[in-house]
A and B are shown apart, each in its own frame.
Chain A
Amino acid sequence: MALTATIDLTRRTVAIAPTSQAALDRFLGGRGLGLSLLWQHVAGPLDPLGPDNPLIFTTGPFTGTSWPAGARGHVTFHSPLTGVYGYANSGGHFWAALAHCGFDALVVLGQAAEPVRLDVTTGAVAILPAADLWGLTTAVTHDRLGASSDVRVACIGPAGENGVRIAGIMNDRSRAAARAGGGAVMGSKRLKAVVAHDTKPEPAPRPFPKVAGEMSRKTHKHGESQALHRWGTPLLIRPKNMSGDLPAFNHQAGQVPFYAQIDAEAIDRYVTRHKSCHACPIGCDHETRVADGPYATELGGPEYETVDALGPMLGLADIEAIIYANRLCNDLGLDTISTGVCIAFAMELRQRGLYADPEFSLAWGDPASILGLIQAIAYRQGTGDILADGVKRAAEKLGPQTMPYALHVKGMELPRQEPRIAKAFGLGHMTSNRGADHLYALPTVDIASNWEAARALFPAEMLPKLMDLADETYKADLVAYSEDYSAVSDALGICKFATTETFALMPEDVAAGLSALRGKPITAAELLRAGERMVNLERLYNARLGLTRADDRLPARFTSEPLPIHTFARDEATGEISKSESPIHIGLVHDPDAMLDRYYRLRGWDARGLPTEEKLRALGLDGSLPTSWATDERR
């Protein structure tokens, strides 16, 4: 059973039909299916918070199966944060339940007159009243809806209800489809929650469980899987600090001397248990508990991105306060990355004498300012109301003198990599079609010293430069490949920790699994072609809105402010950590245009970053071209 439900909240109607096989053949499912449905429903500019913006929940063919880490799902929409193509992706168990109910897609249209929730059972969707849930935090909403192993919940918090453009959607209490403002779209529809009642899935075709089992064992045995299971993503904090890739003080620094207070070992003291998303042989997730004191709380997490966004980025060294701030963001339904970057922006403006708040000091590391602003953003109060629209709009409101400190690409706040050190990630932030994003490409091969993957994927003569973090020559090659494979991962409903993060599974492995599941062969090359097709249609969606090369641009800080990187040593007697006087390296993005030029050439796009007709024809997307394409003045 492969169903798409179209739910019109204005008319209060639900129409259920088989999912388009043509769409699945071309775009696989998940992110690809969401994209093709968005493309059908949106023909040009629209009010992202109006009734015409579809909110599309999709699962992939592997979601909810026994495929390793087949836990992911996707939400696609026209972003209220960027004004262009938007999506968010998360793991947990909600998506598996949605897939077990038989749904590839829920397409939510219109706006309800009163708050509602969707109740999803096998082959059916009901629109139910939810006025009693409006205003509640995401945690209390989960409680009220009876969230359990049989009842899986995705919902918004007050931030989404209040139209905060950096609001996300929380599922399974602590998993976040966080980015690009999907929570605000859901709030604009007065849709508080989607509840999926899990049921026994249809049995997979006979060869599939065997292939999935083999791949699960392969993923489990991978060295990085073992480290992720033990430490979770916070294991990144320490090495990133050593390399200068731990953004701090709104990217005025790439290292902090207090790294040992917030790293994986520090967090480990608060870990109460390890847990896994559906069918995951890695199990990187963990729960933490601060037992007492002003920051007493319980949390699913924290993850690396959040620790940096709410810690070093804000100069905050207190791990208990970081955990508490993370929980607060989850409860209110805020994207922790964007929230941290927005607060860092305000703090740097205060540092430079460009802004002051009557209530909060905005001093670096001040927990009262950080926790107070998180609340103020969610409820659109004072400075929080300005930041609630993201740093781009906030800078436009506060004046041109503030714009250099608003760190975004295409209007979305930068995730937690330092582009002057992690050059491939920097390029990935630039080219991502949903705005600055570490997961759109997830180009890890060089920074992870993954020579095995590098040798398998790229010509030998490229490798010395490609694997050199500081060398910009072949970063485009790494980004273009990773974007395609990441798109495949998102479309199939699998976690990138098994694919582009680690390459525990190569495209050939994934193709073997999909062939077994569908009962018809697909090659690795065909899979990657589908990924490329997605990236091109996403680019076309944005090009139709007028985006071009000028929008593939990093903030000037990364190309004009050299970043000195130091070493740290610990005094064995006192335990004190000291920073070297002289830097060992100076980070800077030297030639973003050269990286972009090569990336566009590899993609078969023109110098303006727009897909050529030849490329679109080759991908079977020529029917998607606007009739005015050839003469469009924007080009």
Chain B
Amino acid sequence: MNADEREEQVNIHIRYHGIFAAIAACREERLALPDGASVGDALRLVGRRHPALNEALFLASSALAPYARPFVNGALADELSRPLRDGDEIALLPALSGGMG
């Protein structure tokens, strides 16, 4: 059973910034996740909804790309295992940076 199919108990809001908004073709979405779902679960769910976003968010090793910065209620989520609570807002920001060297 995956996160989509389980009982939906946590409702959160995800906002896409910069290139992530362009790739997802929307600026925000509401997500319903099972109780105990984490930031990683939310990102994997939006990755399944938007395959191109999945390619942008996750490395081949399935780790979150280092330039993808998820903020939960304004604070950077250092760990994808961070649990979500009902009403949380994730802001997904790309840190593309400039290039050097």
A239 B96 Cβ-Cβ under 8 A: yes
A448 at the interface (CB under 8 A from B): yes
Q: Closest approach, in angstroms, between the C-beta of A431 and any C-beta of chain B?
A: 15
The interface stretch among A80-88, A149-157, A299-307 is A299-307
- Of chain A, the residue at the smallest CB distance from B56 is A242
Q: Which residues of A contact B55 (CB under 8 A)?
A: 242, 567-570, 577
B85 at the interface (CB under 8 A from A): no
Q: Apart from A438-B99, A447-B18, A584-B23, list 19 A-B contacts with CB within 8 A.
A: A230-B66, A235-B66, A238-B59, A239-B67, A243-B19, A245-B96, A284-B101, A415-B99, A417-B98, A439-B100, A449-B17, A450-B95, A469-B18, A501-B97, A501-B100, A502-B97, A567-B55, A567-B56, A568-B56
B101 A235 Cβ-Cβ under 8 A: no
Question: Interface size bucket, B side?
Answer: 20 to 34
Known: A567-B52, A584-B25. Is A443-B65 also a contact (CB below 8 A)? no
Residue with the greatest number of chain A CB neighbours at <10 A, chosen from B22, B69, B76: B22
B95 A305 Cβ-Cβ under 8 A: no
Q: Which residues of B contact A447 (CB under 8 A)?
A: 18, 96-98
Q: Which residues of B contact A501 (CB under 8 A)?
A: 97-98, 100
B83 at the interface (CB under 8 A from A): no
As a 0/1 sequence over residues 4 to 42 of chain B, the CB contacts with chain A under 8 angstroms (1 = contact) are 000000000000011100110100000000000000000
Known: A239-B56, A568-B55, A584-B23. Is A223-B98 also a contact (CB below 8 A)? no
Which residue numbers of B lie inside 8 Å of A, CB to CB?
17-19, 22-23, 25, 51-52, 54-56, 59-61, 65-67, 69, 76, 93-101
Complex Cα distance A330/B66, Å?
29
Q: Which residues of B contact A240 (CB under 8 A)?
A: 96, 99
Complex Cα distance A417/B9, Å?
44
Complex Cα distance A448/B60, Å?
22
Q: Closest approach, in angstroms, between the C-beta of B5 and any C-beta of chain A?
A: 18
The residue from A236, A568, A570 contacting B96, defined by CB atoms under 8 A apart: A236
Q: Closest approach, in angstroms, between the C-beta of B53 and any C-beta of chain A?
A: 8
Known: A235-B66, A239-B56, A265-B61. Is A565-B96 also a contact (CB below 8 A)? no
Which A residues from 472 to 526 make CB contacts under 8 A with B? 496-497, 501-502
Count of chain A residues with a beta carbon within 8 Å of a chain B beta carbon:
53
Known: A235-B66, A239-B19. Is A305-B100 also a contact (CB below 8 A)? yes
Q: Which residues of B contact A497 (CB under 8 A)?
A: 100
- Of chain B, the residue at the smallest CB distance from A308 is B99
Known: A260-B60, A567-B23, A577-B55. Is A305-B99 also a contact (CB below 8 A)? yes
A227 B98 Cβ-Cβ under 8 A: no
Complex Cα distance A242/B66, Å?
14
Q: Which residues of A contact B95 (CB under 8 A)?
A: 223-224, 227, 239, 448-450
Known: A496-B100, A501-B100, A584-B23. Is A449-B52 also a contact (CB below 8 A)? no
Known: A239-B65, A449-B95, A569-B55. Is A304-B19 also a contact (CB below 8 A)? no
Q: Which residues of A contact B94 (CB under 8 A)?
A: 239, 243, 449
Complex Cα distance A598/B29, Å?
36
Q: Which residues of A contact B66 (CB under 8 A)?
A: 227, 230-231, 235, 264
Of the A-B pairs whose beta carbons lie under 8 Å apart in the complex, a sample of 18, sorted by A's number, is A227-B95, A239-B19, A239-B65, A242-B23, A245-B96, A264-B66, A301-B101, A304-B101, A416-B99, A448-B97, A449-B18, A497-B100, A501-B100, A567-B23, A567-B52, A568-B52, A569-B51, A585-B22
Q: Which residues of B contact A449 (CB under 8 A)?
A: 17-18, 69, 93-96
- Of chain B, the residue at the smallest CB distance from A565 is B22
Q: Closest approach, in angstroms, between the C-beta of A574 and any C-beta of chain B?
A: 13
A233 at the interface (CB under 8 A from B): yes
Complex Cα distance A264/B96, Å?
13
Residue with the greatest number of chain A CB neighbours at <10 A, chosen from B25, B93, B97, B101: B101
Complex Cα distance A179/B50, Å?
41
- Of chain B, the residue at the smallest CB distance from A584 is B22
Which A residues from 273 to 328 make CB contacts under 8 A with B? 284, 301, 303-306, 308
Q: Which residues of A contact B19 (CB under 8 A)?
A: 239, 242-243, 469
The residue from B51, B54, B60, B99 contacting A304, defined by CB atoms under 8 A apart: B99
Complex Cα distance A265/B18, Å?
23
Q: Which residues of A contact B99 (CB under 8 A)?
A: 233, 236, 240, 304-305, 308, 415-417, 438
Q: Closest approach, in angstroms, between the C-beta of B16 and any C-beta of chain A?
A: 11
As a 0/1 sequence over residues 398 to 435 of chain A, the CB contacts with chain B under 8 angstroms (1 = contact) are 00000000000000000111000010010000000000
Complex Cα distance A444/B51, Å?
28
Q: Which residues of A contact B60 (CB under 8 A)?
A: 260, 265
A306 B101 Cβ-Cβ under 8 A: yes
Which A residues from 214 to 250 make CB contacts under 8 A with B? 223-224, 227, 230-231, 233, 235-236, 238-240, 242-243, 245
A580 at the interface (CB under 8 A from B): yes
Q: Closest approach, in angstroms, between the C-beta of B60 and any C-beta of chain A?
A: 6
A443 B98 Cβ-Cβ under 8 A: yes
Which A residues from 567 to 601 make CB contacts under 8 A with B? 567-570, 577, 580, 584-585
Q: Which residues of A contact B98 (CB under 8 A)?
A: 417, 422, 425, 438, 442-444, 447-448, 501
Complex Cα distance A111/B27, Å?
61
Q: Closest approach, in angstroms, between the C-beta of B17 and any C-beta of chain A?
A: 6
Q: Which residues of B contact A442 (CB under 8 A)?
A: 98, 100
